Amino acid sequence: MYQIRRHRLGLRNALLVAIWMGVAPTGAAADIYRYVDRNGVEHYTNVPSRGRRYQLVVRGSRSSRRLGGRGKRRRAPDPGRLTRYDAHIREAARLYSLPAPFIRAVMRVESNFYRDAVSHKGAMGLMQLMPATATAMGVVDPFEPRQNVLGGARFLRVLANQFQGDLVLTIAAYNAGHGAVRKYGGVPPYRETRRYVRRVLEHYYKYRAAPDDAHTTSRSSGPG
């Protein structure tokens, strides 16, 4: 049985987010659809509703990168991705008063720094935002790196505020939903979530202990 050290994320200068929403998965399909409303605003979803004209933009059976499971696509080597989004990470860290190594660790486990990653549940982009979460966090295009990173960091700040800055509970809620964390009074007893928390913390401690540019030495072809 592994043990997790408890840390708290600083709440000073934290953005007080007025909206709150659930993050339970809304479907298992990886197909992603786009809808443009009358004001020209783009909306993304993996569960298109009737009465609206949706455009299929990602087909899960061919275009998705299924994280940690079968059906994973082969990718050309791209070591540059490990530092390509550093500016966005630093910006998000300043804006939402989060440690940059923490944001980087979540991104590493979620997508391994692949901007076009799509999970089997329909989570999208670098921070693997579900369609409802992306919309709530003001993300118009979840595959645009800056929007995705800022949206994911904003959501992490929402969760950190909800759990009084508890790092472990924030990570668990990002994976399993805040409702599950509250239901069990801590990290839910889900194998996936416990493994997720452990992996994020491992990368966080590694990035935090390393020099600013040392994260470039952590190379991996997949999130496994």
Nearest to 167 by CA among 40, 49, 5: 5
pLDDT one-digit tens code per residue, 11-25: 333 333 322 333 333
Is residue 2, in this structure, part of any structural domain at all? no
Residue ranges making up the domain that contains 38: 32-217
What's the number of domains the chain is made of?
Answer: 1
Q: For position 32, what pLDDT does the model report?
A: 64
Cα–Cα distances (Å) from 174 to 3, 54, 95, in that order, read 19, 28, 19
CATH number at residue 198: 1.10.530.10
Nearest to 222 by CA among 64, 66, 101, 105: 66
Which pTM was predicted? 0.69
In angstroms, the CA 205 to CA 181 distance is 23
Is residue 22, in this structure, part of any structural domain at all? no
Is residue 25, in this structure, part of any structural domain at all? no
Residues in CB range of 20: below 8 A, 6 or more apart: 158, 162
pLDDT one-digit tens code per residue, 63-97: 334 443 333 456 778 999 999 999 999 999 999 99
pLDDT one-digit tens code per residue, 29-66: 345 666 677 776 666 566 666 667 777 665 543 333 44
Output 215 or 222, whichever has higher pLDDT: 215
Catalytic residues: 110
